[in-house]
Amino acid sequence: MFEIHEGAAVQIVAVSKHFGGATVLDNINFDVAQGEIVVLLGASGSGKTTILRIIAGLEMPDLGRILLHGKDVTQLPARERGAGVIFQNYALFPKMTVAKNIGYGLRLRRRPRKDIRAKIDELIELVHLEEHRDKYPSQLSGGKQQRVAIARALAYEPEVLLFDEPFGALDAQIRTRLRKEIRELLKKINVPSIFITHDQEEALELADRIAVLHEGVIEQIATPFEVYMQPSTEYVATFLGAANIITGYIDHRCFRCEDISVDLEDDMRIPNGQAAKLVVRPEDVFLRKAENLTQKYQPLTDGIIDEVSFVGAFERIAVRLAFIHDERLIVTRPKTETAVFPLSVGQKVPVGVVRFRVLPDNTREPVARVSAARK
Amino acid sequence: MSANVSGVKHTRGFDVIKPLSIGVMVAVMLPLVLLPLASIFIFGTSKGLPSFWHALVEPEAIFALKLSFVTSFWATLFNIIFGLFAAYILSRYTFWGRNAIIVIISIPTAIPTAVAGFALLLLWGPYGLLGRFLPLDMQIMFTPYAIILANIFVTFPLAFGVIMPVLETMSRSLEEASATMGASRWQTFWHVTLPSLRGAIVGGALLTFARAVGEFGSTILVSGNLAGRTQTAPLYIFSKFNEGQVEAANAVAIVLALFSFVIFSVLFFARDWLEAD
C-alpha cells in the first residue's frame, strides 16, 4: 500500500513502466506540493518524458499510482484528469485563433459564453497577449506561442501543470527571460508544476526541487542548492555541473588514493576499507597553499599545470597530479584570482580542495585512479 | 581582387541550347496536349453556338451529364466519409495486417478500369458469385448503383491517398493536447483533427469527382450503356460518335472538358489556400 501525504498536490507512488523488454521507469516516487515547481532533469532516454505522460494520463504505468490532490487518478483517461500540459512544440490548434485556443477547454466544459469570454480576457491579460487575441498561432513568435499554451492550460484551472521541455525550441536569450517570467507567473497562481528538461542551468534556475533521473531511476531529489553542493551519486555530480572524480578507498575516516589523503567530514559514515570516490567541483580545487583562505582547506598533492585556457568569466586549468600520468584534474578560477596568482603551463603547484563529497563506490574493489570528468 | 577595376559588364555568349530545347519541348507538347483539346472547341462551335446548344439540350445528353454528376457525387461522398474513417483508423492504431490493408486499398489504382468493371460483373452480375443470390428486383448490375459501385472501386484509393499522408504526418501532440484539456475522442476529431484535414478533404473530393465523372472503362461494363437509363456522359460521347453523330458527342465533350478545367484550376491555384493554417 501507499501513504497519502497531507498537503501533497501531486503524488507519484512506486511507478514503473516497461516498453517491450526495456525498463523505462523503475519504482519512481515523489511528491509535488501546492505551488511547488519540481524539475525532472535527465538525459534523453532517462524516462522523464514517460513520467510526464503517465501523470497526464497519456500513458499507463505498469505498476504504481498517480494521486492528484489525494485522489487516485491512475485509471482515469487523460480528459478526466484535469492536468494542464504544455507540449514541447506547444501543440496550439492551428485553425483556431489565440482566443479560441485559450477558450477551448472551457467550451468543452460547456461554461456559459459570458464566463468563457471573461476568463479569456483575464488570461490574455495575464500573459500579455492583448494585441494578439485574434491572430492564429502561425502568426506568433515561439515565445508568444508558449504563452498562449500556458494560458490555454490555465483556463480550466488544472490540478497540475506539466511542461515538456518548454524552452527547447527557443533561442538562448529569450529562454532566460521566459524562465524568469514563467517562474514568477507560477508562483503567483500557486499551481503545482512539473517541468522536464535536460538543461541543468534551466533546472537550477526554475526549480524549487530537482529530481535527477538516470535510466529510469531518480538518483536524487532535493533543492537545487543541495543537488549541486551535495550530490548523492556520481551521476548527479557529473550531470549537474562539472566534477572531478578520484577513485580510492576509505581508511580510518580518511579518503585515500595513492599519496592523496583527505579527512572525511564528521557526518560521512562510510565503513573502513570501502571503495569510494572523491567528487570535487572544479571551482573547489585550489592551486596554492592554504594561506589567506577562509574556507577549510585540505591539501591533496602536488601537480603540474598542463593547460590554461580562458573561458569567459573563468580561467580553466588542467593539472596533472604527481602520481598519475594520463588523466587530469580540471580547475576553474575567477578572473580576480588569475590576476593575483598568474599560472603558466609547466609550473609546479600545490593542489588542495575546500569542498568535496566522498561517495561509497559499491561497484569496485579499492583501486587507485584519478579521472577528471566534465559536463 | 577588385571587382570594379574595368567597369566592363561580363556577358555570356549566346546559348543556342536554350531556345532550341524550349522549341523542341513546345513542338512536342503542343500536338500532344493542347491541339487535341483545342480541336474539341473548334469543331464543337464550328457550326455556331445555337447548334452547340441544340445538341447539348437533347434529353439523352442532359440525362447522361446528370447521371455522371449524380453517380460521381455519391461516390465522392462515400469516398470522403469512408476514406476519412479508414485513414483515421490506419494512422491511429497499429495492428496486425495494417500494412496489408493499406496495400489492398491502393490496389485499384494499378488495375485497368475495364478489368475492374469486369471483376464487379463477375461478382455482382446476375450469374456472379454473389449476384446470383440477389432476387431479380434487387439486382444492382446495369443500374445507376452499379455505376456508383464502379466509381467507388476505381476512385477510393485517390481520396484515401490524399487524406492518409496528412493524417499520418499530423503531430500527435495536437490530439493529445485536446485530450488533456478534457475533449472526448469525437470532440478531438471534430474540433482539432478535421479542421487540419480541410485541404486534404477538398483535394480528395475534387480528385475523386473529376475522375469519377470521366470514368469510362469500368462504367461501360457494369452499366449496360442504356441510353436515358444508365448511360453516363463519357458513354454518351462514345455511343454518339459510333453512331456518326459527332456534333452530339462534341457538345457533351465540351462540357466535360470545361468541367475538368475548373477542377484542375481549383486544385492547382487554390492549393495554398486549402493547405494554409
Query: Pick from A196, A229, A262: which residue ends a domain?
Result: A229
Q: Mean pLDDT check: name the lowest of A347-361, B70-84, B258-272.
A: B258-272
Give the confidence band of A266 by pLDDT, cuts at 50, 70, 90.
Answer: low
Tell whether A133 and A218 lie within a shared domain.
Answer: yes
pLDDT at A37 over 60: yes
Tell whether A53 and A125 lie within a shared domain.
Answer: yes
Interface contact A79-B192, CB threshold 8 A: no
Tell whether A202 and A316 lie within a shared domain.
Answer: no
Q: What is the mean pLDDT of residues B15-37?
A: 88
Tell whether A152 and A32 lie within a shared domain.
Answer: yes
Compute the nearest-CA separation of B276 from chain A (Å).
9
pLDDT in tens, B72-122: 999 999 999 999 999 999 999 989 999 999 999 999 989 999 999 999 999
Assess if residue A90 is contained within a domain: yes
Interface contact A91-B173, CB threshold 8 A: yes
Assess if residue A137 is contained within a domain: yes
Q: List Cα–Cα distances, A50 to A19, A62, A162, A274, in angstroms.
A: 10, 12, 12, 36
Interface contact A104-B184, CB threshold 8 A: no
Give the confidence band of A355 by pLDDT, cuts at 50, 70, 90.
Answer: confident
- The per-residue pLDDT for B272 is 67
Assess if residue A234 is contained within a domain: no
Count CB pairs under 8 A between chains A and B.
Answer: 70
pLDDT at B6 over 80: no
Helix, strand or coil for residue A46?
coil
pLDDT at A319 over 80: yes
Tell whether A316 and A205 lie within a shared domain.
Answer: no
pLDDT at B62 over 80: yes
CATH of the domain at A151: 3.40.50.300
Interface contact B180-A57, CB threshold 8 A: yes
Tell whether A344 and A366 lie within a shared domain.
Answer: yes
With contacts defined as CB-CB under 8 Å, which chain B residues touch A136?
A: 277
Average pLDDT of chain B?
89
- The per-residue pLDDT for A365 is 62
With contacts defined as CB-CB under 8 Å, which chain A residues touch B174?
A: 91, 93-94
Assess if residue A19 is contained within a domain: yes
Interface contact B196-A94, CB threshold 8 A: yes
- The per-residue pLDDT for B1 is 46
pLDDT at A169 over 50: yes
Query: Nearest by CB to A79, which of B173, B183, B192?
Result: B183
How many domains is chain A built from?
A: 2
Tell whether A222 and A351 lie within a shared domain.
Answer: no
Structural domains in chain B, CATH included, are 14-44 (no CATH), 47-275 (1.10.3720.10)
Identify which has the larger pLDDT, A20 or A219: A219
Q: What is the mean pLDDT of residues B27-44?
A: 87
Give the confidence band of A286 by pLDDT, cuts at 50, 70, 90.
Answer: confident
Interface contact B176-A77, CB threshold 8 A: no
- The per-residue pLDDT for B277 is 47
Tell whether A60 and A185 lie within a shared domain.
Answer: yes
Domain holding A277, by residue range, is 242-373
Tell whether A216 and A247 lie within a shared domain.
Answer: no
CATH of the domain at A332: 2.40.50.100
Query: Nearest by CB to A156, which of B182, B191, B195?
Result: B182
Query: Pick from A199, A229, A259: which residue ends a domain?
Result: A229
Assess if residue A287 is contained within a domain: yes
Interface contact A95-B195, CB threshold 8 A: yes
Kindly state the percentage of chain A with pLDDT values over 70.
91
With contacts defined as CB-CB under 8 Å, which chain A residues touch B196?
A: 94-95
With contacts defined as CB-CB under 8 Å, which chain B residues touch A82?
A: 182
Give the confidence band of B274 by pLDDT, cuts at 50, 70, 90.
Answer: low
Tell whether A215 and A73 lie within a shared domain.
Answer: yes
pLDDT at A164 over 90: yes
Tell whether A78 and A26 lie within a shared domain.
Answer: yes
Interface contact B182-A88, CB threshold 8 A: no
Residue A138, chain B, CB below 8 Å: the answer is: yes
pLDDT in tens, B216-241: 999 999 998 888 899 999 999 999 99
